[in-house]
Amino acid sequence: VLVTDDDVARIARAQFERIEMHESAADEEEDLTHDKTLAHVSFSSRSYTCPESCGAIEITVVREGRVDVPVSVRYETASGTASPGSDYVHTFGVLDFAPGEKEKKFKVEIIDDDTWEPDELF
């Protein structure tokens, strides 16, 4: 997430664990991102941008691969150069994908202040 403070930016990143729907992967060297026996969950974009005054940024999570079964994935913000409580609100939760559902969203609240700050990451 890229959050700007009067045109200054911040980037938020997070990682999702690959959710395996099948315990036996045929070949460890196989490209699992194309394996339809697994559900793959990731962000729709590598980064998001918003001004500090945006209030909140909406993050989109997409699911590919096996979509015929329910899948749950945990998410949580992690501090970098930006600090929870003064730059953004620490956010966490679980996204529950129903069978056939390929997209979920969650929001991270951005805290606007009157202090100029350089670009920050969380």
pLDDT digits (tens, 9 = 90+) for 47-93: 888 888 889 999 999 999 999 999 999 999 988 888 899 999 999 99
Closest residue by Cα to residue 24 from 35, 13, 10: 35
Q: What is the per-residue pLDDT for 1?
A: 52
pLDDT digits (tens, 9 = 90+) for 13-49: 333 333 333 333 334 434 545 566 788 899 999 888 8
Q: What is the per-residue pLDDT for 61?
A: 95
Q: What is the per-residue pLDDT for 98?
A: 96
Strand segments, DSSP code E, in 1-122 are 2-4, 10-11, 39-43, 49-51, 56-65, 71-76, 92-97, 103-109, 120-121
Q: What is the per-residue pLDDT for 20?
A: 32
Q: What pTM was computed for the model? A: 0.71
Q: What is the per-residue pLDDT for 33?
A: 52
| Cα–Cα distance measured from residue 1 to residue 87, given in angstroms and rounded to the nearest whole number | 12
